[in-house]
């Protein structure tokens, strides 16, 4: 995963807002951590490990699957993109 070409990002504490495709998206602390880690291309496994380290194991869910759900949403919103291998 990597960030897309947006340039405006406002961070306050653990949360942030990003201006992408003409829209402002407010990001939770979890999503902000993902965007921060994706400043350099990174794998889904590494993102899941970072989330577990910061927030602990998700209740009743596989960490990798839970991370994939959030990443898929951020890709769909144009915040992240799948990095070329």
pLDDT in tens, 15-41: 999 999 899 999 999 999 999 999 999
By C-alpha distance, which of 48, 51, 5 is closest to 28?
A: 51
Q: How many whole angstroms separate alpha carbon 33 and alpha carbon 19?
A: 17
Entry pTM = 0.91
pLDDT at 85: 60
Give residue 9's region: left, alpha or beta (phi > 0; psi -120 to 50).
beta
Angle (deg, nearest 10), helices 63-76 and 29-37? 80
Give residue-wise pLDDT tens across range 41-80: 999 999 999 999 999 998 998 999 999 999 999 999 999 9
pLDDT for residue 5 = 87
């Amino acid at each position: 995963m990597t960030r897309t070409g947006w340039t405006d990002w406002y961070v306050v504490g653990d949360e942030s807002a990003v201006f992408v495709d003409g829209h402002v998206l407010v990001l939770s602390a979890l999503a902000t951590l993902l965007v921060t880690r994706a400043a350099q291309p990174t794998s889904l496994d590494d993102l899941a490990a970072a989330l577990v380290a910061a927030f602990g194991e998700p209740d009743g869910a596989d960490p990798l699957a839970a991370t994939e759900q959030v990443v898929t949403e951020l890709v769909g919103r144009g915040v992240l993109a799948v990095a070329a291998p």
